Amino acid sequence: MKARDVMKSPVITVRQGATLAEVARLLDENKISGMPVVNPQGELVGIVSEHDLITRSQRLQVKMLREPFGWLSPHTTLEEIAQFTRGLCEVGDTRVEEVMTKKVVTVSEDDSLEEVARLVGRRKINRVPVLRQGKLVGIISRGDLVWAMANLCERKPGILN
């Protein structure tokens, strides 16, 4: 089975220059956790995720409430929580280019699902854009790989190969 057989298409993308408020709205409305960033010509220039919005914005480095992993500490004061919330809201006008991953790992629509799964696992990424002759034609998430395993592999052993 090939990448083209499980990729989602058309791909929900965000344009270069969009604000994080726009990115957050698109992620929420489409119930997705990340998406490719494209330039005005539709070319892939990056990828942005919920994780990027929450942790990588320069303005959001509010010391993540004393906890190195970003979780609320039992010692966090109400003022610190309020400050953190204000920081989340203020980050909305930040441009996607400031937080997106620029070196995007991609696959070809002809790559096997086994190759895609290996890449996703090895690189610890949640989604991978699918390209055809350098153009974005689809996206495969970890969920898509799990779906393929659950729905296709029981019918055809070795389908990921």
Cross-strand bridge partners of residue 19:
95
Domain coordinates in residue numbering, the chain: 3-57+94-151
- Token look-up 């960033």 returns 37
Q: pLDDT tens digits, residue range 73-127?
A: 666 677 766 666 666 666 777 899 999 999 999 999 999 999 999 999 999 999 9
pLDDT at 51: 87
pLDDT at 71: 55
Question: For residue 160, how many other CB atoms are within 10 A of its CB?
Answer: 19
Entry pTM: 0.77
Mean pLDDT calculated for residue range 19-41? 94
Q: Are 37 and 16 in contact (CB under 8 A)?
A: yes
| 3-state DSSP assignment of residue 49 | strand
pLDDT at 55: 75
Q: pLDDT tens digits, residue range 129-156?
A: 999 998 999 999 999 999 998 887 665 5
* Structure token pair of residue 58: 């320069």
CATH no. for 3-57+94-151: 3.10.580.10
